[in-house]
Chains A and B, each alone.
Chain A
Amino acid sequence: MNRTLRIAALAALASSFFAGAQESRDYFKVGVDLELSGDLGTDGNFAKRGYEMWANAVNEAGGILIGKKKYKVQLAYADNQSVPAQGASAAERLITQEHVDFMFGPYSSGVTIATSPVVEKYKVPMIGGPESPNVWLRKPQYTFGTIPPVNFTGAGTVDTLMALSPKPQSAVVVGLNDPFSKSVATSFKDAFEKRGVKVLKFDIVPPGQDLTPLLSVMKGMEPDIVAYGGHDEDLIKFVKSMHQINFSPKGLIMHYGITGPAFFEALKADANQIFGAAVWTETTKTSSKILWPNSEAFAKAGMKAYGVPVDYDIAGCAAGGIAFQVALQRINAAPPLDEAKREQLMKALEAVDVDTFYGHIKFATEGEFFHSNTAMKILTLQIQNGQAKVVGPPSDMEAKPQYPMVPWDKR
């Protein structure tokens, strides 16, 4: 009994020591649970740039002003290897061992779905970049997203296409079998059907396979539009396979993802005239008083830091940091944050209503988009001469949509 008591006393002493160590911390420790390797390593590393840009900008400004003191931020990384189970255990490690105050979440919807119960269990607010609506359907209390879900944005792209001449009459839709890509494909299918476009074929296919035979079938159907939901490497494979069998529909949509530098670099002229969607580009008109005054300033900072253009993923992730900043200031929370403060932080995030370089941030607090930022304007993009141009809605148009697209063999 004596021995048990001694062990218990030692444990209590140790925990008070660590708790004491936490209390003396004068900076915010931010966990970053990301796809730094694995199948979604490209997008995860983009998200990392956004978080890094925010942390560097905050620290260069002296930190986050809480009361009269500025607190710097320090990022603690964990690589979830693009695997949902790894994402959940990485979050647990960041919370229980690194004692992070709040978290930046995964890029992938699948990993976010696995991670959100963990942050909910420990009451640690997390902002990430998932784009699948499935993330928000179960109303995760501590998970937030700055990039609107694809079913919110997909319809906007289809609307732009419907205004073109000749008006699309038919479409084929393909999506990879993962939460994000499947949602993209489904949102396209629903949007086409609601607007009277006949969907000739709709398939959800396993990732990692060569889709040429399927494309041959689709070519025989002669659809006006081909819509595809997938990630960067698959988008490139898809376009190359279309070109190889000379399958040229009138329009090709690939939603988010066409703005990444890899897409144009890999496809060159084949990338031209492909449509996509975004909520932010470096020319989006925004105005902000926090860190970066507008889109252009953020784009310049990104180019200076990484030597390549920044896309909506990076911008959305950096804007997530600003949302935390605003919420922390609202509740006047100095580091480290205990459970009660983290709960307050979650509630403060729900109340965030701020203009940033990225656009307006206001998280939905009810409905199917619960905790996703739905205050953004949906833009339709098209790659024209190697650059993503806004071609819709008309109020934001930078260039006229090029439609029908020039067949591959005439380029």
Chain B
Amino acid sequence: MVLLPQALVDGIMLGATYIIIAIAFSMVYGVMHVIDFAVGEWIMLGSFTGFYLTLWIKIDPLYLLPLVFIIFSTLGYFLQPVVQRVLSGHRGNPLLMALVFTFGLSMMIRGLAQTIFGFYSHSIPSYFSTRSFFIKEGSFFITISAVRLTGLIYAVVITGALNYLLKFTDFGLGVRALAMNKDAAALMGVNNRSTNKFLFGIYTGISAMTGVLIGTILSISANMGGDYTIFAFFVVVLAGMGYLAGVPAAAFVLGLIQSMFLVYLDPGFTLVAVFGLLYLILVISPTGLFRKGWG
């Protein structure tokens, strides 16, 4: 029982990391119906950009997040038409084509990254990554890492900003209309092409910023993307494919299961438990925890 508060806090912090990995990924799937296998590679590229910018500009990487967002959202904005072309061509199964395309893209980015960045692992130094808060009350104690707390705040801000963007702006109205019915939305004057470009840009920008945060919390390498792609998939499937509002809850469920297993049960079976749950969800409720995802 003494460890429970710490286990809960650690689970929430882990959940926050999963939110920022998965939320933009879920949004892009919900609207564009693109399962982007390269999500982990955007995170990796963002982390290396943060790493080198920190080395050159010599300011804390967390202050560089807006700059990283601008760089990668611009890249995503101009890359989206290529993805769109794969999706909208006269091909047998555009969704499958997009899947194969992004898988190929991820392999290409990873290979290029290994050539350009080399095979060393790095870490992004930050003032926040060496600070922590310690709270003790009787026999209970909690240690909260400053950089992980920053990650939680970032997750809340990003979730809030996306929520505002989608629910309270004309752009968001267009996005939601496109997610419901592309043809009807187009007839109502929603510009499919430009909306998708902006959306993909927001997604790559958020993923890259997430990479910077992960680099300050953990470590970075050209091979790191694969693990994060798996976790993004997990959260999105648990939340319900394309159901954005389910992402925070699914991410916290994942974080808390992982934390509880590591603390109270056998740490060797953490991932077995996590993926066992995913399997159960897929069997019992293929549309996610809230039964609101794409079937």
Contacts and interface: CB of A to CB of B under 8 A. Distances in A.
Interface string A223-251: 00000000011001100110111110000
Nearest to B9: A216
B156 to A, nearest CB: 19
A262 B117 CA distance: 13
B143 A213 contact: no
A22 interface: no
Max chain A C-beta neighbours (<10 A), residue from B134, B222, B223: B223
B268 A204 contact: yes
Interface stretch (A37-45, A151-159, A321-329): A37-45
A267 B268 contact: no
Contact of B219 (A233, A243, A245, A246): A233
Contacts of B26: none
A243 B146 CA distance: 11
Please classify the interface of chain B as helix (H, G, I), strand (E, B), loop, or mixed, using the class held by over half of its residues. helix
B137 to A, nearest CB: 14
B67 interface: no
A219 interface: yes
A209 interface: yes
A405 to B, nearest CB: 15
A42 B120 contact: yes
B82 interface: no
Interface stretch (B68-76, B91-99, B122-130, B198-206): B122-130
A208 B219 CA distance: 11
12 contacts: A37-B223, A38-B223, A41-B223, A42-B120, A177-B268, A209-B270, A213-B6, A213-B263, A216-B10, A220-B3, A233-B223, A244-B147
Contact of A267 (B123, B141, B223, B271): B123
Given A42-B120, A240-B123, A245-B132, A216 B221 contact: no
B171 to A, nearest CB: 34
Contacts of B119: 41-42, 44-45
Contacts, number: 123
A408 B134 CA distance: 14
Contact of A210 (B141, B146, B218): B218
Please classify the interface of chain A as helix (H, G, I), strand (E, B), loop, or mixed, using the class held by over half of its residues. helix
A171 to B, nearest CB: 17
B164 to A, nearest CB: 29
Interface stretch (B11-19, B58-66, B240-248, B277-285): B11-19
Given A209-B270, A268-B125, A216 B227 contact: no
A208 to B, nearest CB: 4
B223 A213 contact: no
Contacts of B111: 37
Given A204-B267, A220-B2, A236-B123, 20 more contacts: A42-B121, A177-B268, A205-B267, A205-B268, A209-B258, A212-B14, A213-B11, A216-B7, A233-B221, A243-B129, A243-B130, A244-B129, A246-B132, A246-B134, A247-B143, A261-B120, A262-B120, A266-B123, A266-B219, A267-B123
